[in-house]
A and B are shown apart, each in its own frame.
Chain A
Amino acid sequence: MDTWPAVHRAIILVVLSLLLLLNSTPALAQGKTATPNLFDKSLEDLMSIQIGTVYGASGFKQKVTEAPASVTIITSEEIQEHGYRTLADILRNVRGFYVSYDRNYNYVGVRGFGLPGQYNNAITLLVDGHRLNDDIYDGLLLGTDLPIDLDLIDRVEVIRGPNSSLYVASAFLGVINIITKPGRALTNVSVAAEAASYGTYQGRASYGKQFGNGLELLLSSSFYDSHGQGQLFFKEFDSPATNNGIAVNVDDDEFHQFFANASWGHFTLQGVFGSRDKGIPTASFGTVFNVTGTHTIDARGYLDLRYDRTLGLGWSLSNRTYYDLYDNDGTYMYDYSDSGGPSRVSNENFAHGKWWGDEVTLSEQISETQRLSVGSEYRDNFQQDQGNYDQQPFVQYFTSSQSSNVFSVYAQDEIHLRKDLLLNLGLRYDYYSTFGGTTNPRAALIYNPWAKTTLKFLYGQSFRAPNMFELFYDAPGNEANPSLRPETVKTMELVWEQYFANHFQMTVSGFYYPIRSLISERVDLATGNAVFTNAGSLDLRGLELGLSRSVAGGLEGTVSYTFQDAISPKNQIPVTNSPKHLIQASFSVPVIKQKVFASMNLQYLSKRETLAGQYSGAYTTTNFTLFSRNVIKGWEVSAGLYNAFNQKFADPGGNGLAEDVLFQDGRNCRVKVGYRF
C-alpha cells in the first residue's frame, strides 16, 4: 500500500532532474566562448578549483575515472555549505547510502545491506589511510562518536564495493576514506562554536602552521555537550508504571576530542583521541525505562607514524606503524525485584581493545604503461577483552580475554593495455589466527571508448572475518560461537560514467553481490539465547542512477535514484532495514559569489521491513543551510534547518530493543560561527 506514493515521489524527482538537464540546453551552445574565464582567474581562484582525484581506491592518487570502483568525493566546502554535523549526515547524501539511528549508534546501509546491530562492520573507515574500525566489533563510528571533528576534514572519499585487495578485511561493501586538512589549511589559531536544538553546544580550537624548516603542524581540540530530547515517547512502554512511555531527560550526549598531526620531511605523525558518553533512552536490552544511568562510553584513539618517499627510478615506498585503542564501557540499569533482588542494579558491559601493526607498501612505475604495487601488513590485536558483571551485589557473568593477529600480503598491477583501456588486477592473501587463510582476487577493466565516456567492468571477491563479539560474547541471553567462518561476497558491477558539456556528469551503475555464509544473529529456540551463526545467503542486486553538476565557484547539484533488492534465498535471513528505493538530491548555490551559499538536500527512503515483520514507512527529509564565508574577514557563519518540514519518520530497531521502530528527530536547527585569527 505504500508503494504508490513511493513511485509518485520518485517520478517527481526524476522529472526534476530532467528539468535540470533541459534548463541547461541553451547554455550548451555557449560552450567554448567562456573558456577565457579560466585565464582571467586569480591564483587563489585557480587553487580552489576541483580537479577530481581520488586516493583510496587503489592506495595511490589517481583520477576518479581511473579508479577501479564507483567513487564519490565530498569536499570540505560541501561539508560547510550543507551544514553536515556528523559523518552520518554526509553519508545520507551519498548516492545509494542510508543511515539509521537507535539513539545510541548510527548504522549505515548500502546496496540494500543494512542489517541493524551489525555496527557497520561491513564497511572500512580510514582516516588518512589509518583504519578506524576497532578490533572487537570491527565497527565504525559515524555519529558524535567519530573521534574526528568535521572541520578538520579536507574531503571524504566513498568507494563502493570491496577493495580488500589493497585494504584490510571488512572492506566488504565499501571503503570510506577521510583525508584531514594539512596544517597550512588552518593557519594560526582558529575557533568555532555552535548551538543547536535540544540544548546542544559544540566548540573547537585549532592551531596550524607550516614552519620554514618544513615542519607542518596541526593541533585541535573539540568538545560537545547535548542535553538531547527532553521527552521521548516510546509506545512499547505506554503504561502508568513506566511514565506512560515518556522517557524524560535521558538522551544526553557529550564528547571531547583531540587531534594532532605533524609532518616533517618524509615523516608524518598523527595522534587522535576521542571519548563520547551517550545516555540511552530506549531501555535497550531489558533495562529499566526512564531512569538515568544507562549509558555507553566509547573511547577511541591511535598514534600513527607514516614514512613516505620516492626512491627514484620510479619506486615509491610507504611505511605505517600504528598503535590503537578502543574502550567501550556500558552501564545498564536493571530491576531485579521480580526475582527478589534489588530494584536498581547497575550492570557493566565492556569491550577493551588494544592493537598495533605495521604496513609497508612499495609501488613501482615499471614502464609508461604499467604500475605495480605490493604491500604487506601485520596486525597484532594483543588485547581483545570483553566482559559483563553486576556492580552491587557483584556478580560476574562472563569475561573473555582474547588476542589474535592478522598477516596480509597483496599485490596490484595497473596496466594501460591501450590508450583507452586500463586493466587493474589485484590479489590479496590474509591469514587470521582465528580462522585461517583466505585469498581474494580483484579485477577491473576500465574502458574509455570516447573522451567523455568511461565504462568500468568490476569483479571482486571479498570476505568479512567474524569479529570477537560474534565469536566470544557470552553474557546471559547470549551464546559464544568460536567456530564461525568468514562470510564471503563476490561482487560484480558495471559502471558507466558520462561527462557532458556544461559540467554535467552522469553515473549509471548496476551491481550484483551474492553474499554467502552471512554471519547473522538469531535466537536459538531451544535455549532462548541469541547466537551468531553463518546463517545463509543474501543476494544484493540493484541499479544506481546519478546526475550531477559541479561548476567551480557556482552551482553544485546532484540528483540520484537507487533501486536495490536484497533477497535471501529460502528466507534464511530476515532482510530488515533495506529500502527498495532511495532518492537523494542536493543543491548548493552561491547567493553572493564565493561568500554566501544556500544549500538544500533531501533524502527519500521507501518503506523498510523491521525485525517484527512490520514496516517503517517511507519518508522524505529535507534540510536547508545558509553558509557565509569571509563576509566579514575571518568569519564563517552557518545556519541550518534540519528535517525542515517536520517529517515524522522512524528507523527499524535492532536486536535487544523493545521498540520495533525508533522515531527520529523532528524539525531542528543549528547555528555555527567560526573565526580565524
Chain B
Amino acid sequence: MNTRLQKRGDRASDWRFVSKVDWRRIRRASFFVIACWLFSNASPRALPLDEESVEYPVKLAFLYNFTKFVDWPPNSYHSPDTPLVICIVGHDPFSPDIEGELRSRTVGSHPIEVRTLRPSDIMSVCHMVFVPATEKDDAARIVSILNGSSTLTVGESEGFAVRGGIINLMAEGNKLHFEVNLLAADRAGLKISAKMLALARIVHDETPSTGN
C-alpha cells in the first residue's frame, strides 16, 4: 500500500478551506426527510411488533401457515368441526395475546385449539406438535414416540428435521426459513403442498451412526 516517503516539503501554507453553510441545501434535505416520513406514515402497513419480540410471533404465524399447506389424513378429524389441535411442548415461548389470536382462527371448517403440554404428556390428540428450542434434548424422544402417528412435528433447533422431525424453523441471518424432511412427512401420512415445498429447504434423515 504505502511506498517510499519523500522528505516532506513545506506545505504548512496558511491556506484554509472552510465550506460555506448552504441553508438552501439543508432545507431541501430536511423537506425530503419530512416528506419521506409523512408519506410513509400515510400508508397502512402496521405490523406493530418491536424487533425484540418479533421472533416468536413470526414463528407462530409460520405454524398457522403450515396448517394451510399440510393435508392430514381424513381420519384425523371426527367431524368437520373437530378442532385442529396445536400442542406446544414444555416451556411455551409464545405470548398469550398472540396465542389468543391464533385460537380465533380456523383452518377450513376446523377451529384451532392451542394446548401446552409437558414433555411426558400423551400427544396423540395433537395434529401439530411444536418442540421449542428449550426442549431440544427431549426432541428425539418426542419424535420417536410420535413415529407412525399423523402428527406434524415442528422444531426450532439445529438438526431437528434430519433426526426425524418433519419441519424445522431455523434462523438464517436475521430471517427465518424452514427445513422439511419429506420422508418423515411420508411416514406420518401427511401431504405437504408443492407451493410450500418450493419455499422449503429439503433435508434427509441423518444416519443414526453420525448423529451422536
Interface residues of A (CB under 8 A from B): 1-2, 5, 8-9, 12, 16, 19-20, 23-24, 27, 30-32, 34-39, 41-44, 46-54, 61, 63-65, 73, 75, 105, 117, 119, 137, 139, 154-155, 179, 182, 184, 210, 212, 214, 235-236, 284-286, 296, 298, 310-313, 328, 330, 332, 347, 349, 351, 368, 388, 397, 451-452, 469, 473, 475-478, 499-505, 523, 528, 530, 550-555, 557, 585, 587, 589-590, 593, 598, 600, 602, 607, 612-620, 622, 624, 645, 647-650, 655-656, 658, 660-661
Contacts and interface: CB of A to CB of B under 8 A. Distances in A.
B101 interface: yes
B121 interface: no
Most buried by A among B1, B3, B173, B203: B3
Given A554-B45, A620-B26, 5 more contacts: A51-B55, A501-B50, A553-B47, A555-B37, A622-B32
B101 A648 contact: no
Nearest to A397: B4
Contacts of A63: 52
A615 to B, nearest CB: 7
A223 B25 CA distance: 35
A36 B102 CA distance: 9
Given A19-B37, A37-B47, A286-B6, A53 B171 contact: yes
B17 A617 contact: yes
Interface in B158-206: 158-159, 171-177, 196, 199, 201-204
**Which of the listed residues B101, B171, B172, B204 has the most CB atoms from chain A within 10 Å of its own CB?**
B172
A160 to B, nearest CB: 18
Given A52-B51, A155-B173, A311-B212, A32 B97 contact: yes
Interface in B24-78: 25-26, 28-30, 32-34, 36-41, 43, 45-55, 57-58, 61-62, 64-65, 69
Contacts, number: 270
The dominant DSSP class at the A interface is mixed
B133 to A, nearest CB: 11
Contacts of A351: 1
A137 B3 contact: no
Nearest to B10: A612
Contacts of A347: 3-4
Interface residues of B, number: 75
A27 B41 contact: yes
B40 A647 contact: no
B11 A660 contact: yes
B2 A469 contact: yes
B201 A210 contact: yes
Given A16-B33, A49-B175, A49-B176, A658 B97 contact: no
Contacts of B65: 41-43, 46
Interface of B: 1-9, 11-13, 15-19, 21-22, 25-26, 28-30, 32-34, 36-41, 43, 45-55, 57-58, 61-62, 64-65, 69, 97-98, 101-102, 105, 134, 158-159, 171-177, 196, 199, 201-204, 211-212
A368 B136 CA distance: 11
Contact of B101 (A35, A64, A557): A35
Given A349-B3, A555-B40, A647-B25, A48 B196 contact: no
Contact of A598 (B17, B30, B36, B54): B36
Contact of B19 (A35, A284, A478, A648): A648
B171 A617 contact: no
A200 to B, nearest CB: 23
A8 B158 CA distance: 52
Given A214-B204, A656-B2, A39 B61 contact: yes
Contact of B3 (A19, A311, A656): A656
A607 to B, nearest CB: 8
Given A46-B65, A53-B173, A38 B19 contact: no
A214 B179 CA distance: 12
Nearest to B12: A612
A48 B175 contact: yes
B48 A51 contact: no
Nearest to B204: A214
B19 A119 contact: no
Given A503-B50, A616-B17, A620-B25, A600 B2 contact: no
Nearest to B212: A312
Nearest to A213: B204
A477 B5 CA distance: 5
